[in-house]
């Protein structure tokens, strides 16, 4: 079971913020009044150690602004993710750390996911992070069909509303005994790389994308769990637009590298 980090962050921010407000509006004045009365009664001056804030309050005040900044940045601006699988090869490699624009498709409340401001709509060709209908986890795929589109997948080529989407052969991988073929594909105005298995065959399938939903595919077309198998992505489950790779770390014991940083197309 995955850890619900957004919920933990919201809870931690709320608790530390409540303690800080409780200190400002109640505990501090109560502590000062008690110390003043005790000083007058016993006729001595309190030491610094006797007038200090409780440890819990001190830590809450220290952590609250940091947590609040992280919450705002992560919930409404940008959020980092790591790529765990090869479903988006060659665009994204296993171990890539990506940055996702959380406000590109609208402002949503943390944890609840309720959209409060509508901005851009996903476009064909964009790489999107979302929660799929069959699993409570983050997925990343490429948008291939928007509301109203009729998408057909035939001979490993995409047809949108009857129009064949361009694929241009680039290379065999590996070169001598190829197991995959790489193509340059264009969806809408976005040109990107995809990978196709040389041996795996596909059947002809067609989908009509209804309002409020999106059809998505992995760039590693024959090694991807996507809308062909578990259905469409609801607009309510969109997390954001993937915009760049900012770090890469190979699985296992290895040092991260920043030499592969790039924009995601």
Asked whether residue 120 carries a pLDDT value surpassing 80, the answer given is: yes
pLDDT digits (tens, 9 = 90+) for 122-178: 999 999 999 999 998 999 999 999 999 999 999 999 999 999 999 999 999 987 888
List Cα–Cα distances, 101 to 62, 84, 85, 127, 128, in angstroms: 28, 19, 21, 11, 9
Of the two residues 45 and 258, the one the predictor is more confident about is: 258
- pLDDT tier, 45 (very low <50, low <70, confident <90, very high otherwise): low
pLDDT digits (tens, 9 = 90+) for 207-239: 999 999 999 999 999 999 999 999 999 999 999
Is the four-CA dihedral 119, 124, 127, 131 of positive or negative sign?
positive
Of the two residues 89 and 6, the one the predictor is more confident about is: 89
Asked whether residue 47 carries a pLDDT value surpassing 70, the answer given is: no
- Name the residues annotated as catalytic: 87, 141
Task: Please give the pLDDT value at position 43.
Answer: 54
Task: Please give the pLDDT value at position 49.
Answer: 45
Asked whether residue 44 carries a pLDDT value surpassing 60, the answer given is: no
100 by Cβ neighbours in 10 Å (0-12 / 13-18 / 19+) ranks as buried
Of the two residues 234 and 45, the one the predictor is more confident about is: 234
Kindly state the average pLDDT of the residues 194-211: 92
In the chain, the percentage of residues whose pLDDT exceeds 70 is: 93
State the Cα–Cα distance between residues 249 and 94, nearest whole angstrom: 8
Asked whether residue 86 carries a pLDDT value surpassing 90, the answer given is: yes
Are 124 and 144 in contact, with CB atoms under 8 Å apart?
A: yes
Task: Please give the pLDDT value at position 251.
Answer: 85
State the Cα–Cα distance between residues 239 and 61, nearest whole angstrom: 31
State the Cα–Cα distance between residues 5 and 207, nearest whole angstrom: 34
Beta bridge partners of 100: 79, 242
Omega cis (within 30) before 206: no
Q: Which range among 28-37, 67-76, 123-132 shows the weakest confidence by mean pLDDT?
A: 28-37
Task: Please give the pLDDT value at position 3.
Answer: 63
Task: Please give the pLDDT value at position 1.
Answer: 38
């Amino acid at each position: 079971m995955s850890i619900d980090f957004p919920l933990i962050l919201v809870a931690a921010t709320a608790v530390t913020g409540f303690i800080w407000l409780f200190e400002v509006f109640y505990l501090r004045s109560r502590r000062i009044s008690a110390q003043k009365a005790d000083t007058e009664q016993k006729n001595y001056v309190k030491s610094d150690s006797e007038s200090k804030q409780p440890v819990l309050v001190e830590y809450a005040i220290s952590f609250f602004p940091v947590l609040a900044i992280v919450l705002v940045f992560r919930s409404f601006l940008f959020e980092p993710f790591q790529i765990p699988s090869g479903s988006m090869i060659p665009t994204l490699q296993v171990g890539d750390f990506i940055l996702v624009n959380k406000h590109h498709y609208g402002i949503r409340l943390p944890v609840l996911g309720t959209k409060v401001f509508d901005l851009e709509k996903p476009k064909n060709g964009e790489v999107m992070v979302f929660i799929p209908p069959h699993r409570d986890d983050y997925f990343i795929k490429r948008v291939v069909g928007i509301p109203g589109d009729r998408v057909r997948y035939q001979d490993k080529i995409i047809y949108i509303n009857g129009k064949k989407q361009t694929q241009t052969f680039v290379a065999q991988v590996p070169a001598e005994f190829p197991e995959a073929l790489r193509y340059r594909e264009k969806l809408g105005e976005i040109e990107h790389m995809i990978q196709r298995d040389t041996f795996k065959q596909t059947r002809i399938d067609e989908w009509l994308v209804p309002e409020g939903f999106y059809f998505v595919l992995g760039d590693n077309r024959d090694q991807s769990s996507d809308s062909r198998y578990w259905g469409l992505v609801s607009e309510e489950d969109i997390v954001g637009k993937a915009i760049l790779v900012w770090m890469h770390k190979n699985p296992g014991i290895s040092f991260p590298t920043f030499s592969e940083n790039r924009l995601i197309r």
